Amino acid sequence: MKIKGVRKLAKKWARETGNSAPAYVDGSGNPRTGEPHIECLDPKKFVRNSRRAARNWARGWAPYRRVLMRLKLPPRGPVRSPENYKRVEAVCLALHEEKVRRQKARVVRTLTEMVT
């Protein structure tokens, strides 16, 4: 499976998230009056923090990207064919297995820290 590089995707994520600052401000208003909660919202800060968060996003996405890159998908079939659903199932199962593996590792680390 071909996927863009993590750095390129992280830059795009930060750019697109930062571009959503106006929607962030608009969507955070008081539902009764529609007035934004200006005291807690600064669009510039939102953009700056989304750029900083890109590194965390890349770190979280990288293991799943590796799973998808290694994945061997069954061949495509005609539109709405069972073969195509098997492709979707393969992707979903691989990502789910990685998520479960990471959760178990996190639990083990937490328990180890508690014991020591």
Structural domain containing residue 98: 71-116
Lowest mean pLDDT, pick from 30-34, 50-54, 68-72, 87-91? 30-34
The per-residue pLDDT of the chain, averaged, comes to: 86
Tell me the pLDDT band of 38, cut-offs 50, 70 and 90.
low
> What is the reported pTM?
0.68
Per-residue pLDDT at 36 exceeds 70: no
Per-residue pLDDT at 79 exceeds 80: yes
Task: Please tell me what DSSP assigns to residue 75.
Answer: P
CA distances 7 to 49, 56, 58, 59, 66, Å, are: 17, 11, 7, 10, 14
Statement to judge: residues 8 and 39 lie in one domain: yes
Task: Please tell me what DSSP assigns to residue 30.
Answer: -
Tell me, yes or no, whether 66 lies in a domain.
no
10 exposure class (CB count in 10 Å sphere: 0-12, 13-18, 19+): buried
**Number of domains comprising the chain:** 2
φ/ψ of 29, rounded to 5, equals -75, 165
Statement to judge: residues 2 and 57 lie in one domain: yes
Q: Which residue has the higher pLDDT, 8 or 45?
A: 8
